[in-house]
Amino acid sequence: MTLEYYIILAFLLFAIGLYGAFSRRSAIMIFISIEIMLNAVNISLVAFSKFSAIATAYGHIFTIFSMVVAAAEVTIGLAIVLAIFRHFEDIDTNDINLLK
Amino acid sequence: MLETITFFLPEICIALTAIIILISGLFIKNRNVLTAISCIGIIASAVLTVIYQYDPMSHGIVYASGLLCIDMTSFYFRMLFAVIALLVVMASQDYAKNFESKYPEYLVLINLALLGMTLLVSSYNLISMFASLELMALSFYALTSLMNTKQSAEAGMKYILLGGINSAILLFGMSLVFGYTGSINIDDIFFSIMGTADPEIGLILGIAMIIAGFSFKTAAVPFHSWAPDVYDGSPTTITLFLSTASKLAGMATLARLIEIVSYGSPTVLAPKLAIVIAVLSVLSMLVGNIGAIRQTNIKKMLAFSGISQTGYMMLALAAFCLNAADASVSNYEIFIGLITFAVAFALAEAAAFTGVITISDHIKSDKIENYRGIAKQAPFAAVVITIALLSLMGLPATAGFIGKFEVFASTHNTVLIIIGVLNSVISAAYYLNVIRVMWTGENEYKGKIEASWLPLTVMVVAATLVIGIGLFGFNYI
């Protein structure tokens, strides 16, 4: 296994996540797509760190940061989705368009 | 190691303030006390910044194992953010009755956002940059959806969904830059870019994604679509905070990154980057100004005007790329232009939004048509909004003129200067329209509109500084 395979995998996962984030309408599905994108980033960070010419641990450390931030983001995101559901009784992003 | 702890004192002060408010909010229900604690904390952090973060020789001190640095940009922007946060807390005094029960959390989140922004402008490493950016962004997600209204919840959802996608793109860009340069330290990235005559496609893609990520925070076209909706739905004080501090934090970081990329590779990457930034800048100016003309809601109009102001600030960033190869243009001059513009913009926005908060609080509407003849009921607020809008327009004898002049002059590019000046002329259409509506006709609201003393102080200070900088220049204030 060389670096290319990991980077191609990361790019594919990222593209899937990006497509999902823009095509899905449910807020929860968009959050899942964002998580896929962030996990693609984690793969690429760890792979770069492992195969880098100068052995560094920066990528591994960066991954831990990105996982923590992703968890925090989803926590706030789900709280906001709950607030949306209380107000609109719906989490379809197409139906929530008071602000135009 | 131990001596660098003094560099952290401003941050420790802000974090402590947040914790103190969080705990005392459980016992103290008096809004004035909480506001006072928050103001004291922010002022103390600003004083500590002056004592420990001021770098008169401006040679840059890197501390915390290369995570953070002190230089001229970070110092000026830290001070600016402290002033903005202080003005926001003071301006919230009347408006906070809309979310009375959540007032302690509101102040805590403002302090945490301030902490994120001060760390972001000092970041000298991709990890600290990302972590502090997210600290700022997460606080803002919660702040935008703070009010118990449909609009506020919708604004929060739009902001967090687009912001989440954006931070994933930004992070992917950072991972590519790390992969192709082998480091996450700004200095090492600079030397790595300098050492490659022919940069690889992965590196270029990474830089483009990082620029996209920070352009989202600054609401530059084509990453602006969230701004009008989020600005409209969130509490107005948070709109003020979001449209000034959050935008300027993104802009300052973008300036730092673009500076190292264009000075690292002045012949290969800088010309490419110059085109990208110039296109972003011109598009932001045009879309912002044309979008603002057809707005009927004053908050949305200010959002679009903010997008066009982002375009002017982007001109200063384009100046880095355009003049990277030219040794006769110092980057000091460009930074001064950017900072002057940022100060003028922040003060004018603070004055305008505080006036809008005061008036809208009484007439219960953000529609421009409902502001007809409001100058009779609220003469002081109307004068302040007028001064602020004239400054945003760039009228001479206001701070906005000095800022625009410095930015335009630093580009050394005739085409960009002409486009910028033409856009200032277009912008006069909607700024003058609001002023005309306010000062002519009769309003249905007959009562007297007065602010309490804290928002009044904000308006007096901001408007005075706008005029003062306009008359005497930034260096003498």
pLDDT digits (tens, 9 = 90+) for B280-293: 999 999 999 999 99
Q: Are B399 and B344 in contact (CB under 8 A)?
A: yes
Helices (H) and strands (E) in chain B, counts: 19, 2
Distance of CA B403 to the CA centre of its chain: 15
Query: Locate tokens 């999902």: which residue?
Result: A20
Q: What is the pLDDT of residue B440?
A: 92
Locate the domains of chain B by residue range: 292-477
Which candidate from A79, A93, A99 shows the least CB-CB separation from B151? A99
Q: Are B344 and B403 in contact (CB under 8 A)?
A: yes
Sign of the alpha-carbon dihedral angle for B109, B114, B120, B123: negative
Cα distance between residue B331 and residue B292, in whole Å: 32
- Exposure of B49 in the CB half-sphere (CA atoms within 13 A): 28
> What 3-state DSSP class applies to B297?
strand
Q: What does the pLDDT look like over A65-88, one tens digit per residue?
A: 999 999 999 999 999 999 999 999
b/e code B184-208 from CB counts within 10 Å (16+ = b): bbbeebbebbeeeeebeeebbbbbb
Domains and CATH numbers, chain A: 3-88 (1.10.287.3510)
Cα distance between residue B95 and residue B113, in whole Å: 19
Q: How far is A77 from chain B (nearest CA, A)?
A: 6
Q: What does the pLDDT look like over B8-49, one tens digit per residue?
A: 899 999 999 999 999 999 998 899 999 999 999 999 999 999
Q: How far is B138 from chain A (nearest CA, A)?
A: 7
Which H/E stretch holds residue B239? helix B236-241
Average pLDDT value for residue range B200-216: 94
Predicted ipTM? Answer: 0.96
| Chain B environment of A61 (Cβ under 8 Å) | 127
Q: Does A30 touch chain B (CB under 8 A)?
A: yes
List CB contacts of B379: < 8 A, sequence separation 6 or more: none
Q: How far is A68 from chain B (nearest CA, A)?
A: 9
Query: Interior CA angle at B132 toward B465 and B243, to 5°?
Result: 35
Cα distance between residue B118 and residue B115, in whole Å: 5
Token digits of residue A43: 């793969």
Token digits of residue B115: 């902490």
- Exposure of B199 in the CB half-sphere (CA atoms within 13 A): 30
B312/A100: higher pLDDT: B312
CA closest to A95 among chain B residues: B154
